[in-house]
Amino acid sequence: MDWLNYFLIGAAVYIVGYKIIIRGFYVVNQSERAVKTAFGRAKRVKGFVGPVENPTAHKLNDEEKERYNFPKVQVILPGGPYFKFPWEKVYKVSVATNTSNMAYDPESPQANKNNTVLEAVTKDQLNIELYGQIRYRVSENNIYAYLFGIKNPIAHVMGYFVSAIRVRIANFEGKKDAEGVLFDSETGEKLSPENATDLRAGGSISINDLRKNLRDINDHMDAECSVSEARYGVILEASLITGINPPQEVESALAAINTAHNQVSSDISLAQADADQKIVQSKRAVEIETLKAESETEGLHILAEELATLKKRGGADALRAYVRNAKLALLDNTKAIYKSE
């Protein structure tokens, strides 16, 4: 039975040497975080009360706070080597920022035109195509939800994002001022009732308004999806919609409407500039004539003052002598004199 003893000794050495000692050590890379479980249970952080302490948990309603009441577990930071016993298991997860197409569906590669373009419907029932990306990373504050709370957290996050952006597109009306009047976010000008309506041929106003307000839509999506950290343990850092295209059948009509609108805007701008120039020229001409009249009037006032001084110093004879001399100067320029009978 010596072979049996050797076999048992070898098995014991293998289990102790390889399974416990060699495989018991592990390291955590810089872009990773780890959670260790013992008999399937992760070690909790004492004193943590559900999602209430999560920075984004205030956006959850009472029913969601109960549903997503995940505990906070101890996270193993980068470093090592660390040691674990055979009954313990280590779950590593990357916390680096990932970039994904917003049309990405992790459960269906054929969805959204092979995960390349996302379709949505505007308020005026126009099907449009959305292009863009989102950036996300795993939350260290709620890593339990990512590892153990949800089977496929990325699928949940993408589904939530797609649902939120489709609701936003379907109800988008543009920005309004304090009085509830729509205005152009680029120029800041208020829109007239004719330009403010979304219900127009070809959906031009709807598409144009969406394109002009891409930044506002992206900011809205960032705020709307910030709750994903408390729900799924994933932080959506940014959403970037880069393009909005209408269906091909209305693209030409939309281009024609935009061209006509741009032409009208150009004509109005030229007419306004011409009118402003004429107004400026008229004001300048009035100023010049006014200055001429003032200069002539000022000369008469000075002459009157000089004559008054002359009369005061020399008397009436001096004034008559001045008048006689002035008449002589006029006679030098006179070509004909007519005397009435």
Domain count within the chain = 1
How is residue 126 written in tokens? 């126009």
How far apart (Å, rounded) are the C-alpha atoms in residues 42 and 38? 6
Burial status of residue 135 (CB atoms within 10 A of its CB: 0-12, 13-18, 19 or more):
middle
Confidence of residue 155 (pLDDT cuts 50, 70, 90): confident
12 within some domain: no
Report in angstroms the alpha-carbon separations of 315 from 23, 320, 328: 131, 9, 21
239 within some domain: yes
| Weakest-pLDDT range from 57-61, 167-171, 305-309 | 57-61
Q: What is the pLDDT of residues 199-218, one digit of tens each?
A: 343 344 467 778 778 888 88
> What CA dihedral angle connects 158, 43, 50 and 67, to 10 degrees?
50
| Domain harbouring 157, CATH code | 3.30.479.30
Q: Which domain holds residue 107?
A: 38-69+92-172+213-246
Report, in angstroms and rounded to the nearest whole number, the Rg of the chain calculated over CA atoms: 43
Confidence of residue 110 (pLDDT cuts 50, 70, 90): confident
How is residue 39 written in tokens? 């008999």
304 within some domain: no
241 within some domain: yes
How far apart (Å, rounded) are the C-alpha atoms in residues 92 and 168? 36
288 within some domain: no
Q: What is the pLDDT of residues 27-52, one digit of tens each?
A: 888 888 999 888 888 888 776 655 54
331 within some domain: no
75 within some domain: no
How is residue 201 written in tokens? 């041929």
Query: What is the structure's pLDDT at 309?
Result: 79
Confidence of residue 260 (pLDDT cuts 50, 70, 90): confident
Share of the chain above pLDDT 90, in %: 0
253 within some domain: no
Neighbours of 74 (CB within 10 A): 13
- Closest Cα to residue 195, out of 253, 264, 125, 126? 264
Mean pLDDT value across the chain: 76
* Higher per-residue pLDDT: 25 or 22: 25
User: What number is the average pLDDT over the span 59-65?
Assistant: 78
